[in-house]
Amino acid sequence: MADLLDWVSLSLVPGLGAAGMRRLVDFFDGPDRVLLASAKERSKVPGLRAEALLGLSNVDEVRCRGEQEIERLSGLGAQAISLEDQSYPSLLRQINGSPPVLYIRGRSELLESCCVAIVGSRAATTYGHRIAFSLARDLSARGVTVVSGLALGIDACAHAGALAASGATVAVLGCGLDVVYPQQNSGLYEQIQGAGVLVTEYPLGTRPEAFRFPARNRIIAGMSYGVVVVEAAKKSGSLITAEFALDEGRDVFAVPGQVDSFKSAGAHWLLQQGAKLVLSAADILEELHLCTGLQSGEKRGTGAEDEKNLALEPELLALLGKIEPYSMKRDALIADSGLSPGRVAEFLLLLELEGLVEMLPGDEVRRVGGESAERR
């Protein structure tokens, strides 16, 4: 087995990249032998850029950069792992184009846990935020590790939902571990490095350039048993992640949205192509027959169970049964219920505090918890 220093050193050669590094390692049967080879021998490897061959010309400098990188990682409380390392995610190792080296910061044991990715639009709607958060929370409560990309929108809500359940989450970055991107998620970054794990194939100091994110998406899909798409346009990074998952034989799930919303067009297209429909975390858990060791303790209650636990009086249950997931005017609810405005206001406050309804601008309300209550 090659030394970690050889893997890291080789990964830092300018112009080589993950694909070029794999060619060299496969050709010479190990990174240590790549570094021991002569310039003439390395030049025989097809598909290598001149810049990479030049960067390998001084092996002492190559190894020096590797030593410095490992030292800097250690100072950051981070580490590098190679394809040969036992802690390298076994699912990710199976994909085409698996990164030769991963840089990680946080709970490395999560890399071998039962992972499910939740991805979606950066410019998500309130609905998308809520669904991503609740799916991640409920999956995490059952021992599933939630994987996403630390982007704004759906990604951030997925990470936050997992953390809210005191669960585990993996953030796959399109930059170095010491670069927080986007800055708006700096607080989330700090939480994940403590309770979860940050993962990237890029060395320290690497900036978040646009071309890195599609490459990042293959890692999100590669280390997960399935990918859940919540709100995505027809042409989006989330669909790229789903395509990676399909190519590797992983499950793809999609959450339905409003039929005329372009932000759900990608999810609806996936459903038309055969993606599994997701209405709750239970739909995902049923497909995870490959995941063993999931927590079998008490399940998080569904919306219907929450209603029972509230010991609601019949009038309040009846009012809740008239509130739909789509927004409605308070005046219409008052007229339909036959209750006084004061009584409706009292009940709505209680239901909002219990997380069963959401008050919206324009004096509107909508249902947010579980299935519709039984009408009485």
DSSP code string of 138-149: HHHHTTPEEEE-
- Res 371 pLDDT > 90: no
Per the confidence metrics, is the pTM higher than 0.85? Answer: no
CATH of the domain at 331: 1.10.10.10
| Final residue belonging to a domain, choices 285, 315, 340 | 285
Same domain, 317 and 362: yes
Same domain, 278 and 309: no
Mean pLDDT of 258-283: 91
State the CB neighbour count (10 A cutoff) for residue 282: 13
In a domain, 40, yes or no: yes
At residue 294 the predicted structure's pLDDT band, cuts being 50, 70 and 90, is low
Same domain, 68 and 123: no
Same domain, 210 and 332: no
CATH of the domain at 20: 1.10.150
- Residue 312, classified by CB atoms within 10 Å of its CB into exposed (0-12), middle (13-18) or buried (19+), is buried
Same domain, 165 and 208: yes
In a domain, 100, yes or no: no
In a domain, 291, yes or no: no
- Res 309 pLDDT > 50: no
CA-based nearest residue to 372, from 288, 289, 302: 302
- Res 39 pLDDT > 50: yes
- Res 267 pLDDT > 70: yes
- Res 159 pLDDT > 80: yes
- Res 116 pLDDT > 90: yes
Which residue range is the domain that position 25 belongs to?
1-75
Q: Is the model more confident about 369 or about 153?
A: 153
What pLDDT is attached to residue 136? 96
Q: How does pLDDT run across 59-101, given as a tens digit for each residue? A: 999 999 999 999 999 999 999 999 999 999 999 999 998 999 9
Task: Give the chain's domain count.
Answer: 3
Q: 325 to each of 257, 320, 356, 364, how far by Cα in Å?
A: 12, 11, 10, 11
In a domain, 293, yes or no: no
- Res 22 pLDDT > 70: yes
In a domain, 156, yes or no: yes
- Rounded to whole angstroms, how far apart are CA atoms 279 and 72? 45
Is there a contact between 51 and 88 (Cβ–Cβ < 8 Å)? Answer: no
- Rounded to whole angstroms, how far apart are CA atoms 274 and 84? 36
What pLDDT is attached to residue 242? 95
Is there a contact between 88 and 199 (Cβ–Cβ < 8 Å)? Answer: no
| % of the chain at pLDDT higher than 90 | 70
Is there a contact between 257 and 267 (Cβ–Cβ < 8 Å)? Answer: yes
What pLDDT is attached to residue 305? 44
| Final residue belonging to a domain, choices 227, 250, 285 | 285
Same domain, 195 and 226: yes
CA-based nearest residue to 220, from 146, 296, 277: 146
At residue 260 the predicted structure's pLDDT band, cuts being 50, 70 and 90, is confident
Q: Which two structure tokens, joined as six digits, stand for 91?
A: 């699912």
Same domain, 155 and 255: yes
What pLDDT is attached to residue 304? 46
| Final residue belonging to a domain, choices 231, 252, 285 | 285
- Res 208 pLDDT > 60: yes
Same domain, 280 and 359: no
- Res 312 pLDDT > 80: no
- Rounded to whole angstroms, how far apart are CA atoms 70 and 25? 20
What pLDDT is attached to residue 40? 93
In a domain, 89, yes or no: no
At residue 161 the predicted structure's pLDDT band, cuts being 50, 70 and 90, is very high
Mean pLDDT for the chain overall: 89
- Res 262 pLDDT > 80: yes
At residue 369 the predicted structure's pLDDT band, cuts being 50, 70 and 90, is low
Q: Name the amino acid, one letter, at 196.
A: G
What pLDDT is attached to residue 113? 93
At residue 288 the predicted structure's pLDDT band, cuts being 50, 70 and 90, is confident
Q: How does pLDDT run across 340-352, given as a tens digit for each residue? A: 998 888 888 888 8
Same domain, 265 and 162: yes
CATH of the domain at 229: 3.40.50.450
Q: Is the model more confident about 102 or about 297?
A: 102
Same domain, 29 and 171: no
Q: How does pLDDT run across 163-196, given as a tens digit for each residue? A: 999 889 999 999 999 999 999 999 999 999 999 9
What pLDDT is attached to residue 306? 46
